[in-house]
Structure 1
Amino acid sequence: SWYITSHRYKKDSYARVALDRLYLDYKEFFTNHTTVSDMNKAEYENQILAILEKNTANMSNDELRFY
């Protein structure tokens, strides 16, 4: 169907590239930060949110945030 084809996740689509980049950033972060102490919880949380902010800061289409 035309709808399915036009809305299918394509390898080079803007949303796919953005999500792949976000995934790789989080994968690297969690690989390098496997444990967190009670004292560092706030910093850990800030770093996680910073990755999300970095990857969504330049999105021009808010609909992409929901893929």
Structure 2
Amino acid sequence: MVLIPLFAMPGGPEMIVILLILVLLFGANKLPELARSSGQAMGEFKRGREELETDLRDAASEEVEIAND
């Protein structure tokens, strides 16, 4: 059985087309602001994920401590 990926990473020509569409939609002046806000949102998501993982680890270790007592 051969698995075919649903979404492939865009290559060079596809990236150029995507960038041209972005410039047309947002304008060249708005692209740095758009990239900055996207980066900030990704950073917030990463921090939230790490915080959730830490909370889950803490809760699991508390469960183990309670079970051992």
Query: Which gives a bigger RCO, structure 1 or 2 (Cα 8 Å, sep 6+)?
Result: 1
Calculate the TM-score normalised by the size of structure 2.
Answer: 0.35
Which has the larger Rg? 2
Calculate the TM-score normalised by the size of structure 1.
Answer: 0.36
